Amino acid sequence: MSDEIHDEQSAAEQVVADAEEIISEAELAEPVEEDLDELSQALAERDEFRQLAQRLQADFENFRKRSAAQAEQSADRRVAAVVEQLLPVVDTFDLAASHLSIEGEVSAEAAALTSARSILIDTLNKLGLEPVPGAGEPFNPEVHEAVMHVEADEGEGPVVDEVLRAGYIFRGATLRAAMVRVRG
């Protein structure tokens, strides 16, 4: 019977040892679970910060593009304002050229005036200035201002008959409408 008691005692000690081991493992598991919770929380924060950084980067890129576009538009408006202020000079050159062609004889002053006009027009053309289409072209209210009207043959639509003051388009937008006489 002593062997039986000894076996029972031995089995009881084994159960106690197993229980202590389970308790020890459970005590170790709690900090591991806490560490895993902290790790998953840190990963969630990292993902949140990454998304925030990506949104900020996209916002900054949009801001940069918008600022560049606004700067370009502002520069275009300033150039257009200067070009518009030079149009009376071009008109004066055109008027002088029309008087010079009447006289027939070309003096040195007339040649210089014609050359100066040509240089100014070339420079303005390089900046983006284009003349509005003139006589013989279909009337377009976006680029022509009709100040006179003459009758035309039947079936003929409104056509520019004569340009009274030149008009100009600057980079695709009407800077000054041409004053025209319309036939039709």
In tens, the pLDDT along 18-42 reads: 766 766 665 665 666 777 788 888 8
132: helix, coil or strand?
coil
Residue that wins the pLDDT comparison between 36 and 101:
36
pLDDT at position 38, please? 83
Q: Over 60: is that where the pLDDT of 1 sits?
A: no
- Confirm whether 7 is domain-assigned: no
Residue 149 lies in a domain: yes
The per-residue pLDDT for 62 is 96
Quote the number of domains for the chain.
1
Question: In which domain, by residue range, is 174 found?
Answer: 131-184
The predicted pLDDT at position 89 comes to 92
Q: What is the CATH number of the domain that holds 146?
A: 2.30.22.10
Round the average pLDDT of the chain to a whole number and report it. 84
In a domain, 1, yes or no: no
The DSSP code sequence of 162-184 is EEEE--EEETTEEEEPEEEEEE-
